Chains A and B, each alone.
Chain A
Amino acid sequence: MMSPDTSLAFTLRGVRKAFRYFALDGLDLQLPLGQIMGLVGPNGAGKSTTIRLLMGLIAPEAGVIEVLGQRVPEHAARAKRDVAFVAEDMRLYGAATLAWHMRLVASIFPNWDEVYAQQLLKRFNLHAEQPTRGLSRGEHIKAMLLLALARRPRLLVLDEPTSGLDPVARYELLSELMEIVRDDSRSILFSSHNTLDVERVCDQIAFLDRGRLVDVSDKEAFLERWRRLQLDVPPGVTLPVLADVVEVSSSARLATLTTNNYQPELQATLERAGARVHEVQRMSLEEIFVASVMRSRGEAAS
């Protein structure tokens, strides 16, 4: 039996979980301590399933899950002492006040930081004595985030926390997350289908689609690797088949080539073949995400 790697916030190896109409299969993912990972995928990609597996809320049919060195789901209770979890569809008890929730969480977590909780209360403009059923969507998320952050977790797991938030609330939430990771012993797993949010806060990015991991890398590497080339292809010239070219689309003499492993030599190779490179464009994370998913779906179909 392998001993747990203490430099990792979590690791999933060969994880499988099947439902009637959906299966997460062969998932391998890990996050080093002190990093923020963005788990990006379209709706139904398996982001929430992955997070629920990590939290021990559902059990895998195969594979190994470790969170902060603890096997999950077997020792999920022990792991959750240092993990805070907030999900978009999670709700607090409507009839109870935020103060009551704070007392409940404080009674369970010895690391509860009351001073920090009071600071967050002010920063988020929340009222502790207000029953939580009166909170707006954004306030509700902030209240749950307060309850999560003030327990000073080593790993913060956020399932679509910015979904449905107005731009100001989203900005506040993301700023708070960036503040947290100044302390580099804390890690965050952040799922979203909003690539702008992920691009803003994450170090590592994992793309998930239809229950499979499409790609995982650190953000800078993603942005460096992916390029779109605008080409002029004269009549009679055929572009060579190149590895790492994800997509080629053409219209008359103009062609657009997308690569997921850009090297400057690619330009020379294309020009040797007779094409002329007009422009090499960087791609946004959203464009990279869409291209990755479409490529993965194409491969699965063939």
Chain B
Amino acid sequence: MSSVFWALVRKDMYVLRVFAMTGVATGLVALGAMLTGKVGFAIGGILYLTAHIAMGIMIGMYGFMSDRKEQTRLFSLSLPISGQHHDLAKLTAAFATYGIPWAILTGAAAMVVLLSGVFPRGFLVYGLLVQGCCLALFSVFVAVLFVAKTEPLAGLAIIVTNILFSLFMMTLAQESISGSMKGPRIVWSDAALTLAACETGLAVLAVVFAISIILRKRDHL
């Protein structure tokens, strides 16, 4: 990829940095709150998930929808880059801007589970599956934004991914799946592995879909 490609990736990461930084700060505060007892765990847990979801929505909406609506896209497309590479740079930047905070929060959550002694170690699998679901649904949301060019459609994508997240949490809460996650050992049960595989598959599929849309597009406005 050309230097212009990476300049555009850095540009988007700079423009979107406030959402990433707010997401990390909120996530870390939430993790801290989760260590303070039952109520703190509940509030921190909700805040932690909200930080992930809000960060993903803001990065997608601001990085793609506002870019189109406010015509800043016209400015970046005037730079010496093809329309395809421009959109690939946007995809890369979106994943980097979401992925770096996601990795920091995943690492922090794993450390909290493994080192704090507050949670059973088996809870690590639960945490990683939730993190995987957030990343997979972010991938789906971003992929949809390459097709959905209006705010109502983007709003619909947010609603659908939130419903999918709720369904995932309900599935994960079933005793047959989460039972082993409450123990002192880290156990990747068949059910947990299946969920992890589904998350990975969904994320890969979404990225492949987004790339195929980008490469087929002839008009870039």
B220 within 8 A of A: yes
- Given contacts A80-B80, A87-B74, A91-B74, is CB(A58)–CB(B7) below 8 Å? no
Closest CB in chain A relative to B72 CB, distance in Å: 5
Report B173-221 residues with CB < 8 Å from chain A CB: 218-221
Interface 9-mer from B81-89, B143-151, B159-167: B81-89
Count B-side interface residues using an 8 Å CB cutoff.
25
Report B81-116 residues with CB < 8 Å from chain A CB: 81-83, 85
B43 within 8 A of A: no
A56 within 8 A of B: yes
- Given contacts A78-B80, A80-B79, is CB(A59)–CB(B218) below 8 Å? yes
Q: Does B70 contact A108, Cβ atoms closer than 8 Å?
A: no
Kindly list chain B residues whose C-beta atoms are within 8 Å of the C-beta of A105: 79
Closest CB in chain B relative to A83 CB, distance in Å: 8
A65 within 8 A of B: no
Kindly list chain B residues whose C-beta atoms are within 8 Å of the C-beta of A100: 14
Closest chain B residue, CB of each to CB of A85: B78
Q: Does A76 contact B70, Cβ atoms closer than 8 Å?
A: no
Q: Does B81 contact A77, Cβ atoms closer than 8 Å?
A: yes
- Chain A interface residue count: which class? 20 to 34
Closest CB in chain B relative to A7 CB, distance in Å: 22
Q: Does B83 contact A93, Cβ atoms closer than 8 Å?
A: no
Most chain A beta-carbon neighbours within 10 Å: one of B7, B80, B83: B80
Kindly list chain B residues whose C-beta atoms are within 8 Å of the C-beta of A58: 218-221
Closest CB in chain A relative to B97 CB, distance in Å: 14
Give how many A-B residue pairs fall within 8 Å (CB-CB).
73
- Given contacts A57-B219, A57-B221, A59-B219, is CB(A104)–CB(B74) below 8 Å? no
A107 within 8 A of B: yes
In the bound assembly, the distance between CA atoms of A77 and B2 in angstroms comes to 10
Q: Does B4 contact A57, Cβ atoms closer than 8 Å?
A: no
Kindly list chain A residues whose C-beta atoms are within 8 Å of the C-beta of B77: 55, 57
Closest CB in chain B relative to A61 CB, distance in Å: 9
In the bound assembly, the distance between CA atoms of A33 and B79 in angstroms comes to 21
Q: Does A80 contact B78, Cβ atoms closer than 8 Å?
A: yes
Closest CB in chain B relative to A285 CB, distance in Å: 28
A81 within 8 A of B: yes
Mark contacts of A67-92 with chain B using CB atoms, 8 A cut-off: 1 yes-contact digit, 0 otherwise.
00000010011101100111101111
Report B1-57 residues with CB < 8 Å from chain A CB: 2-4, 7, 11, 14-15, 18
Q: Does B14 contact A96, Cβ atoms closer than 8 Å?
A: yes
Q: Does B74 contact A89, Cβ atoms closer than 8 Å?
A: yes
Closest CB in chain A relative to B137 CB, distance in Å: 27
Kindly list chain A residues whose C-beta atoms are within 8 Å of the C-beta of B171: none
Q: Does B71 contact A80, Cβ atoms closer than 8 Å?
A: no
- Given contacts A93-B72, A144-B75, is CB(A56)–CB(B11) below 8 Å? no
What are 13 A-B pairs with beta-carbon distances under 8 A? A55-B78, A56-B83, A57-B74, A57-B221, A77-B82, A80-B79, A85-B78, A89-B71, A89-B74, A90-B74, A91-B74, A100-B14, A108-B79
Residues of A within 8 A of B (CB): 52, 55-59, 73, 76-78, 80-81, 84-87, 89-96, 100, 104-105, 107-109, 144
Closest 3 CB pairs of A and B: A59-B218, A80-B80, A85-B78
- New contact pairs (5) apart from A55-B78, A89-B74, A108-B7, CB-CB < 8 Å: A77-B2, A77-B81, A77-B85, A91-B72, A109-B80
